[in-house]
Amino acid sequence: MLNVVIGLRAARQGPITGKVVGPLNLSLGVRALLVIVCALFSVIVAIVAGYMSHKPGARKRDAVLYGGGAFVGSLTLCLAVLGSLGVLSSPGAQ
């Protein structure tokens, strides 16, 4: 039987419902790459948020702090979504 993972859907699915049975069986390298992608996405969100929050004549450190908060919030949300999908759990864990 050929197990194929397409996107974030698991290869092991129920026969009729299509519900995911268990966590995804991804290698450590793929999971590390997904975390890196989340971090890079969060950096982009932080840059955009810091740029949009900066006002002419205001201190730049306020925009940097705002961007840092956006980075932390975005990274937390991304990792929470990956964790709830079962991407970050180890293959032996249930």
- Residues 40-89: pLDDT tens digits? 999 999 999 999 998 888 899 999 999 999 999 999 999 999 998 888 88
**Residue 16 falls inside a structural domain:** no
Q: How far apart, in whole angstroms, are the C-alpha atoms of residue 35 and residue 62?
A: 27
Count of structural domains, the chain = 1
Tell whether 22 is covered by a domain.
no
Task: Give domain status of residue 92, yes or no.
Answer: no
Lowest mean pLDDT among 2-16, 31-45, 47-61: 2-16
Is pLDDT above 60 for 7?
A: no
Domain residue limits at 35 = 28-85
Q: What is the pLDDT of residue 86?
A: 83
Q: Is residue 20 part of a domain?
A: no
As a whole number of Å, the CA-based R_g of the chain is 18
Answer whether 88's CB lies under 8 Å from 79's CB. yes
Does any domain span residue 32?
A: yes
pLDDT of residue 11: 53
The reply to whether 17 falls in a domain is no
18 lies in a domain?
A: no
Average pLDDT over residues 2-20: 53
Residue type, 36: I
